[in-house]
Structure 1
Amino acid sequence: MNKRNWKTTVVAALVVFLFAVLTYTTGTGGTFHYIENPLRDALGAKNVWQREPDTSIKILKIDSRSLDAIGQFPWDRSVYAAVIEKLELGKVKAIGLDVTFPEPSKDPKQDQALAEVMRKYGNVVLPVNFNFPAKQQSSGLLEYDRIEVPSPAIQAPKSQLAHINVFPDNDDRVRRLIVGLPEKSGEMIEAFSVKLANYALGDTEKVRWDAEQRKWYRGSSPIPVNSRNQVITQFYSEPRQEKDLSTGYDSFSFSDVLSGKIDANMFENDIVLIGPYTTALQDEYMTPMSRAIKMFGVEIHANMVQSILDSRFWNEAGKPAGIAILALVVLLAAFLFGTFRGRAALFWFIGLSVLYIGAFIVANEALRIYLPIFYPLLAIILMYVWSIVDHYLAERRERGRVTGIFGRFVPKAVVDQMLASGNEVKLGGERMDISLIFVDIRGFTTLSEKLEPEQVIQFLNEYLDVCTKAVFKYNGTLDKFIGDGVMAMFGAPVKYDNHAEMAVRAALEMKKQTASLEKRLMQKLGFTVRFGIGINCGPAIVGNIGSEELRLDYTAIGDTVNLAARLESNAKPGQILISDALYERVKELFEIESMGEIKVKGKELPVNIYQVHAEK
């Protein structure tokens, strides 16, 4: 496994570990439940035309109209008894009264009226309310402080009692039905919606609690509840459907049924829920069906009744399964983004995201399983971002490697400037004004005869190192090593106006730095070697020559180059010879001695030469 794949695997493992910790140490939805849950809602929600609320479930609304007609709430309990009587005469299947009566009425006759209908009709359900503390101490069973039951004066049979509690998720939205809550004795109290739905279900289809197996069943099928006896259910209506009755449950004003304005026979074989349907009575909750509008408790119960009748329950992928999915997604993303780059990586990023969203929708619709959605998508995003960062870092490393290699020929500042230009390296050159320096070791042949080959190489490398450092110190470009000599140029590829001065200073630096080497060689062998240096300036063609596909050589050619080489060949050990053209540019800066005229190969006329001694 190469270093790059190793790093990607480590990052992938860290991501999986992070998500595992988040999943195991946080509650429903994980740390990012405020994103996870809305994503689930958006991808799992049905369109309005697909919901189709059950027409056999109806709501009697205790709305503002009823409050105006009957009076201030709470009402006389005989009022409820009267409406229940009317509905029973209309052959209703079941009645759920979502109004609590924890205290006896001041007028015993009111309680007696309600008690009589409870004795007379066994399909009337009254609510039990569990009072939960503000914060649950654990993620296990729901803890409660006390239970509010109907006043004993009503004489409601226990078989006709059910809890009306809903418990929101971490984002304060109700998505789950609490199928049952245990009393201190351990006996289960069924949910209000469960009790009502059971009146419409056959004996083999009813929802029941199996105390031995500690499981809830609907018929013979287990209900996928969590440790709190909660199960995710379906919503079939949107909040406050009085604005659009065509898409919600059939609802009627309580006062219209009481007054006889609405015939009770229209409720035949229906499940009727009676409850608050106005904000003033403060019985409303946020649901996945709206980001802003709350849903009344009685309508939430109606939706849960239909979920039970339709047996539409959703399971959640367990934490081990969720972590396994995360691991698979992360490793797949790591492989794809590590293999493909650029547009291909972007294609796989989009494709993998869409593929996982599709898997979520299929699992939700066909299997009724909620897969983790936010964490895998975030993992894909993180792995894609990491691949971009890794690719960038790899390019930086490669650039650094190239810079390091090229930096052996030219100074780092020159390399950086060439890379920053963004220009491609191509065959060809341009005419530039430059200075060229040729260096050769005088006496190298004699030295080679007296030393072993390994010692010769060591000595040569030391001398060439001095040359190279001097060239780079003054922003020169190392063109090439020529046996025991060096060719360098100043003013290319980066242009400098004072390139002639820089070339001379580099030559003086070489002479200075070789003094210790010359002394050491004299002590060891009894003789030494010294540099002969020639420098010229003027126009030359500078660029890349060679094969564009195989090898290029960045160099300079022209008469200026040839003269510099001829000056070096005429330089005695320790001499720095310069041309007349270069003398004119640097004569004010250095101590220079005229050496007269010499005849050089390739020139018809003699040329004036000068020797540089030191800086002024």
Structure 2
Amino acid sequence: MDAVRQGGSSDPLAAASTLADVGRVLKRVPFARAALTGILLGLAILVARFSWTLPMTSFGERVAFDVRSLQAALYHPVAQDSRILLVPYTQGTQEATGKRSPLDRAILAKALVNLDKLDARAIGIDILIDQPQPEDPQLLAAFRALHTPTWLAYASAVHNGEDMQPWQQARLDALFGSLRGTAVHPASIHIDADGDNAMRSWPDVAPDLPPFLPLALAGTPEARPYQGSIRYRMPSDPERQVFLSLPIDLFADPATAAAMADQVRGRIVLIGGDLPDTDRFVTPEGRLAQSTSDFGRQFRENISGLEVHATMLAQWLDGRTPAPTGALGLWALALLVVLAGAFTAMLDVRGWILGLVLVGQLVFFVVTPFWLQSIGVDTRDLPAVGWVVAWFIAFLSTEAAVRALGSEQRKFASAALGKYLPRDIAAQILRDPEKLTLTGEKRPIFALFTDLEGFTRLSHRLPAEQVAPLLNDYLDGMCEIVLRHGGTIDKFVGDAIVALWGAPIAREDDGARTAAAMLDMVAFAREFSKEATDEDQPQLGRTRVGVHYGEAIVGNFGGRDRFQYTALGDVMNAAARLESANKALKTSGLISEQARALSANDRFRPMGRIILSGRKTPIEVWEPAANLPEDQRAHLAALWHRFDNGDLAALAELQALTVHYPDDAAFEFFVYRLAQSGPGGHFELREK
């Protein structure tokens, strides 16, 4: 394989050595291509910044956040919270009171009277008193008698939509007007679930609403509501929930309420519903844990709105209100991700270096969101999935631009290399031009030599305008076979071809490829000779092929301005002599036992043992015999091995078989040589 001047990088940008070179290269980029690439990179930045709100990526962002949230909860389990007590209405309460909706207010009134005596820190009621009921006078009296700071649920028809009608709000406004001057105050209970009914974030409390219930119960009703994510917690003891929960029925009876004094004293009491079909929400952890039994024991599929308020209250009391990444940080990260994708597409480095770069970026995408959350950054709006999508957009668009920029150079180089190398090997050399340096290395190869018998005499008889196209057609077909089977075309010597397998890049199946190419060459040459013959044109001679396996020194040899990639060594000489030996043995092709044994191909027949001219050691050779049935090839091989081991009867059988192959001069001569050399013998070829 000839090459002029050593090749450089296949990346035109990488090949540019100065800013002026880069400028000249970029000027060759078509405006439409540059504009399209710029638009795609801009789109990638927007995806990396706003993927939480994009329809195609928002689901993935929610799942990614749920995983981070679950990981944080698993690694930071907590004991049961001693500051908060849940007093819920349960299905048992509904059964005992005989009321389903609205919830019975008489039991609430009794519970409030008894709780007021147990020194609770504050009471929060997550129940809307927005419809008249017969028990209202009893409940109103209980409200007015309370001394414990109490916050009662309030909702607005403006902010709660279909869940709250104007007449219901008017009822609430009238109720709180009648309670002015008492210990009971309104508190907003408005919370917002995501589209999948998962409660992930604190609500955006409108300024015209009363204080948010968790903040009011914490004693900070005037505080600005937190805008980040809800930090759910996992109990350290799987047998106990994060919050102690005692049914409201226990507090309706003064005797049982008194017995619960230790569980109430100093705690914030939250009263509301804990019913299976009302006011329930999915938590991020619960959604991921639904199909995992180990997590399922720790996280329930969904929780009540009452517990959501309790979780936010505990989070506020703990001061666990991490700051978000911030708009500036999100823009910076989005730009970094897109630059990383574009930079990776422009890299022109060895495969292992590129692998390290890709692994490093993958680690960044996976680890950074978890790391940010672990150091106290709220990752609720962190577009982790958007980063991956944006990286691919940037990578693919930049890769396409780079490919378009260097397409003409690569087309020329690929076309040149493709004349001598298989496509995959040519592609590897284009990616790594160091493979074409002026160095040599010793490695095992398969060498193949061909020659067209009598072509020199034929060329003297035919006009040049007939010889050139005839030879080109023949060589095209032979070269296509070499390349199709993954070989490297070393050189042409007139009508002869020299090809290699195992260099410049070796494959595990090079032996099988070489044998298959040899068989196809013999078949092609036979058919080509028939098709290329007409009445005015003599028939082409037989193509002879020789194949051997052994070590050679392979590499580029020559000067720095012109060199040839080739192989040097005994294996090349042996293959050339095997090709020449075909004439003496009357065969069309000879492959050495060393090469055939590594081919795992049985479409050959034995041709005995010979000593090539100029050599002293016998070599076992085989001839392509794809036209013979498999059983006949096996039979011939068995007979030869029997004879070679001393069974003279096998020779008689071989001699008898010559009758069945009357036109097979190679086989007849093979049997003759065996009779002359005897068992274990060989036939010596001599130079003329």
The TM-score, its normalising length taken from structure 1, stands at 0.61
Question: What are the equivalent positions in structure 2 for 1:61-72 lying under 5 Å apart?
Answer: 61-72=88-99
2:256 paired with 1:261: yes
2:151 paired with 1:125: yes
Matches of 2:66 and 2:108, distance apart in 1: 37
Aligned counterpart in structure 2 of residue 558 of structure 1, from 580, 585, 605: 580
How far 1:196 moved relative to its partner? Answer: 1.0
Aligned AA (1:189): P
Change (3 A) 1:325 1:91: same
Question: What are the equivalent positions in structure 2 for 1:238-387 lying under 5 Å apart?
Answer: 246-259=240-253, 260-263=255-258, 265-266=261-262, 267-280=264-277, 282-291=278-287, 292=290, 293-318=301-326, 321-336=329-344, 338-339=347-348, 342-370=351-379, 371-379=382-390
Q: Deviations over 1:567-586 (max 9, x none)?
A: xxxxxxxxxxxxxxxxx99x
How far 1:302 moved relative to its partner? Answer: 0.5
Q: Deviations over 1:542-583 (max 9, x none)?
A: 689996223438996638899xxxxxxxxxxxxxxxxxxxxx
Change (3 A) 1:48 1:430: closer
Matches of 2:44 and 2:398, distance apart in 1: 19
2:196 is aligned to 171
Structure 1 or 2: larger strand share?
A: 1
Aligned partner of residue 50 in structure 1, secondary structure: coil
Aligned partner of residue 60 in structure 1, secondary structure: strand
Aligned partner of residue 290 in structure 1, secondary structure: helix
Aligned partner of residue 157 in structure 1, secondary structure: coil
How far 1:294 moved relative to its partner? Answer: 1.3
1:85 is aligned to 113
Structure of greater relative contact order (alpha carbons < 8 Å, 6+ residues apart): 2
Aligned counterpart in structure 1 of residue 542 of structure 2, from 531, 537, 558: 537
Matches of 1:37 and 1:270, distance apart in 2: 34
2:555 is aligned to 549
1:236 is aligned to 233
Aligned partner of residue 128 in structure 2, secondary structure: coil
Aligned counterpart in structure 2 of residue 197 of structure 1, from 218, 241, 257: 218
Aligned AA (1:127): A
* Kept in 2: contact 1:78–1:111 (CA 8 A): yes
Matches of 1:493 and 1:111, distance apart in 2: 100
Aligned AA (2:247): S
Change (3 A) 1:479 1:151: closer
* Kept in 2: contact 1:436–1:488 (CA 8 A): no
* Kept in 2: contact 1:284–1:294 (CA 8 A): yes
Q: Deviations over 1:298-319 (max 9, x none)?
A: 1111111111112222443345
Question: What are the equivalent positions in structure 2 for 1:28-43 lying under 5 Å apart?
Answer: 28=53, 31-43=56-68
* Kept in 1: contact 2:123–2:148 (CA 8 A): no
Aligned AA (2:200): R
**What are the ranges of 5 or more consecutive residues in structure 2 without an aligned counterpart?**
1-9, 15-25, 291-300, 427-441, 481-488, 499-516, 557-564, 585-662, 665-685
Aligned AA (1:125): W
How far 1:116 moved relative to its partner? Answer: 2.0
2:456 paired with 1:438: yes
Matches of 2:143 and 2:424, distance apart in 1: 95
How far 1:499 moved relative to its partner? Answer: 2.8
Change (3 A) 1:90 1:134: closer
**What are the ranges of 5 or more consecutive residues in structure 1 without an aligned counterpart?**
137-142, 199-205, 210-215, 218-222, 226-230, 444-459, 513-532, 563-583, 586-601, 605-616
* Kept in 1: contact 2:339–2:394 (CA 8 A): no
Aligned partner of residue 236 in structure 1, secondary structure: coil
2:144 is aligned to 116
1:58 is aligned to 85
Change (3 A) 1:500 1:135: farther
Matches of 2:687 and 2:539, distance apart in 1: 16
Aligned partner of residue 246 in structure 1, secondary structure: coil
Change (3 A) 1:132 1:506: farther
How far 1:391 moved relative to its partner? Answer: 13
How far 1:352 moved relative to its partner? Answer: 2.9
* Kept in 1: contact 2:202–2:229 (CA 8 A): yes
The TM-score, its normalising length taken from structure 2, stands at 0.56
Matches of 1:297 and 1:505, distance apart in 2: 87
* Stretch deviating more after TM superposition (324-333 or 385-394): 385-394
How far 1:47 moved relative to its partner? Answer: 1.9
Matches of 1:4 and 1:493, distance apart in 2: 45
CA RMSD of aligned residues (A): 5.4
2:682 is aligned to none
Aligned AA (1:277): D
Matches of 1:418 and 1:534, distance apart in 2: 36
